[in-house]
Amino acid sequence: MTKLLIASDHAGFVLKEKLKDYLQKKAIGVKDLGTYSLERCDYPLYAYELAKNISNGKFKRGILICKSGVGTSIVANRLPRVRAALCDNLRITKLSRQHNDSNVLVMGSAFVKADLAKRMVSAWLNTKFLGGRHLRRIKLINQIDKKIRSSAK
């Protein structure tokens, strides 16, 4: 059963492949949404495809990788119910789950090497959302999102 989505652009391809192998060895089902080579491509397409599947509830979590992580974060966070967290260390990765209930882990391949990325993914998958005051804040984010979307109509 597929538990997790993963996608990258060309700059994140090598790290994506290493993480995919790592997750499969841990018996975690992964669906790869591309890219499938080092050929130059446009990150917004891959980030949108992953975020769309999180937003519509088909998948609960995903991992995005590009060179800096910034572009894919921007795209993913435009969709409702997506909380994409750009992380580059273990502490922020855990906090993104505990405080923000992140459902998309974003990494920049220029800043996060494979060994650290594997530890970050493991921490992200195994860290629980704390709820409480943090849940109140997530609800506020959702309310703000609804206001923005209704005023745009």
Q: Are 71 and 43 in contact (CB under 8 A)?
A: yes
Helix 114-126 and helix 90-98, axial crossing angle in degrees, nearest 10: 20
What are the pLDDT digits (tens) for 1-10? Answer: 558 999 999 9
Please give the pLDDT value at position 153: 74
What are the pLDDT digits (tens) for 36-90? Answer: 999 999 999 999 999 999 999 999 999 999 999 999 999 999 999 999 999 999 9
Please give the CATH architecture assigned to the domain spanning 2-151.
3-Layer(aba) Sandwich (3.40)
What are the pLDDT digits (tens) for 133-148? Answer: 999 999 999 999 899 8
> Active-site residues: which are they?
66, 99
